[in-house]
Amino acid sequence: MNQALQIRSALASEQLPAPGQAWLQTLVAQQPAQQRTMPALVAAAKARLLASDLATPGLFDTASPPPVFPRELLGPSSASLQETRLTHDVVAQVVDLENLSQSRWQQVQALEAIERGEQKRGREIIRVPAGGYGGGGDGDDDDDETDAGTANGRPAARTASTGTSDASATHRLVLQDAEGQTLFALELARIYRIGIGRLRMGEKLLLKTGTVVARGTLLLEPASVKFLGGQVEPLHKTWVEGRLARLRSEAMAAGPRV
């Protein structure tokens, strides 16, 4: 088995989509000779994949693309489909996120705190690295539901919520598959890992077989989604700047702060 096939097999064992042969061969060639051990190559491929836009041309082989959203869930007709379920696993990336439980002004304050490099937990302001944003890890965060002082070994300061009443918040996401197709997703039950200050744009999620889809919207529960980590920095930067500008405009149009 050549190196590219071994790397693909290792990534698949972690439920990550397998990049194309050409992409992997280029990655191997770019690594210093002393770092071409299989563990090092797998780690490099995983990090590069999680930082890549899934819709990037050439990332996957056209002959064996990763599973994507079913066609019947896309387009205007999907709204008439009362309820169905995913028949296969789909890896998608986050391209938009909104806390539906917060007012526009609260969302502005949350994003401004992130821009300043600080987040809020309760009444305590926690400093994080400039540009820091919780999440963006490179592994599953199922254990985050414990809401303990750390999350998968990361300091709580990096995953602290910026909003109020986080335990009862409801978030709406826009998820994009490897073909660039998007679907709305809504928390059916609270998932601690989802939140402004935790997810970054471009972070990869595994939507598991059996995930409920109602009226063209994925309904997310803790058991139906696995967080694979990663981020796409250009997507995230554009999202923060654009969303903050839109929220400020909408908040001003709605009137003074309450």
Round to whole Å and give the CA distance between 53 and 183. Answer: 16
Q: Given the structure tokens 């997310």, which residue do they identify?
A: 220
Q: Given the structure tokens 């601690």, which residue do they identify?
A: 192
Structural class in CATH, domain 71-254? mainly beta
Neighbours of 173 (CB within 10 A): 23
Side chain identity at 109, as an amino acid letter? Q
What pairing do the DSSP bridges indicate for beta strands 217-220 and 182-187?
parallel
pLDDT recorded at residue 214: 93
pLDDT recorded at residue 183: 95
Round to whole Å and give the CA distance between 151 and 171. Answer: 20
CA-CA-CA-CA torsion for 52, 53, 54, 58, nearest 10 degrees? -80
- pLDDT per residue rounded down to tens, the chain (258 residues): 588 889 999 999 999 999 999 999 999 999 898 888 999 999 999 999 999 999 999 999 988 889 999 988 887 777 778 889 999 999 999 999 988 887 777 777 777 777 776 655 444 444 444 444 444 555 554 444 433 333 333 333 333 344 445 788 899 999 999 999 999 999 999 999 998 878 999 999 999 999 999 988 999 999 999 999 999 999 988 988 887 787 777 777 766 655
Q: Which of 172, 257, 183, 204 is nearest to 94 (CA)?
A: 204
pTM to 2 decimal places: 0.77
pLDDT recorded at residue 152: 39
Element (H, E) at 75: none
Neighbours of 107 (CB within 10 A): 24
DSSP state letters, 105-154? HHHHHHHHHHHHTEEEETTEEEE--TT--S---SS--GGGGG--SEETTE
pLDDT recorded at residue 250: 74
Sequence ranges of the domains in the chain: 3-50, 71-254
Side chain identity at 185, as an amino acid letter? A
Side chain identity at 9, as an amino acid letter? S
pLDDT recorded at residue 148: 35
Which structure tokens are listed for 23?
């992409």
